[in-house]
Amino acid sequence: MNSKVSRALVISGLLALVAAGAGLWYAGGFQPDLSITARKNLGKDMISEEDFNTLITLHSECFDPEKRTYLNRYLTEVKYPDASEKIKAMIHKRVEDFILEGHQKKKDYMRDTQNVAWASLNGDMVGLYNCRTDEELTRGSMMIFNVCVTRKARGQGVGTALMKHAIESCQRPGRDLTLTVYEDNAPAISLYKKLGFKVVTPDRQPDDPYMSYSKLLMKYSPGAASR
């Protein structure tokens, strides 16, 4: 066989392999390797320092911009609407400091809070949630907090997998499962509605009004998915 013919055969063989791979991909042959790991409490259970730091980074990526926006808005539009521009500038500066200082507090919170779970996609940690009982916004309902998927991994079903896991493992027999979501967070609201959560009127107001500022309360009732 001359070298031109054998090179052509090798190239066409490679092209066929690539095409077969692509075909399998489109046919759903390659499933992304998605898994959820849950811990009762990170203070007591095992998590590597590296994974813990990744969780904190994930949380910051998802929620620091949101905290900056809503805290600034709440303080300048609701709490101190008549503040001068100079005072408003001081408020913005204080919010920035608060977010920076919050890094250690966030670590303490994650170590102390109940029921933390994270998603791994093809070996990388890409999302998290936690849930715990709440007295501040509800009367002792289990609440889901901190649902987050890293930007790069969004749109691939990770949020759905996390929320399905949360519904299974956080729900208590006969009790509602609740969460709050900013009213302009369309992706999250759509995800929650798809899984059976409904917007409800809160049955109590939190002591700190900031806790419910611009937020919807959503509830998943036992048996909701099968109705």
Ligand X SMILES: CC(C)(COP(=O)(O)OP(=O)(O)OC[C@H]1O[C@@H](n2cnc3c(N)ncnc32)[C@H](O)[C@@H]1OP(=O)(O)O)[C@@H](O)C(=O)NCCC(=O)NCCS
Residue nearer to ligand X on the CB measure, 91 or 146: 146
The least CB distance from residue 164 to ligand X, in Å, is 9
Residue placing its CB nearer to ligand X in the complex, 41 or 185: 185
Closest separation in Å from C-beta 216 to ligand X: 9
The DSSP line for 21-83 is HHHHHHTT-S---EEEEEEEETTTS---HHHHHHHHHHHHHHHHHHHHHHHHHIIIIIISTT-
Site size for ligand X (CB under 6 A): 19
The H or E element that residue 106 is part of is helix 85-112
Q: Which of 68, 154, 164, 165 binds ligand X (CB under 6 A)?
A: 154
Stretch that binds ligand X, among 42-50, 83-91, 153-161, 197-205 (CB under 6 A): 153-161
* 222 contributes a contact to ligand X by CB under 6 A: no
Q: Applying CB under 6 A, which of residues 36, 47, 55, 62 lies at the interface with ligand X? A: 62
Measuring CA to CA, which residue among 135, 227, 139 is closest to residue 176?
Answer: 139
Stretch of 30-38, 76-84, 88-96, 154-162 lying at the interface with ligand X (CB under 6 A): 154-162
Please identify, using beta-carbon distances, which residue of 95 and 145 lies nearer to ligand X.
Answer: 145
Nearest residue (beta carbon) to ligand X: 159
d(CA 211, CA 138): 12
Question: CA–CA separation, 97 vs 100, rounded Å?
Answer: 5
Q: Cα separation of 95 and 176, whole Å?
A: 34
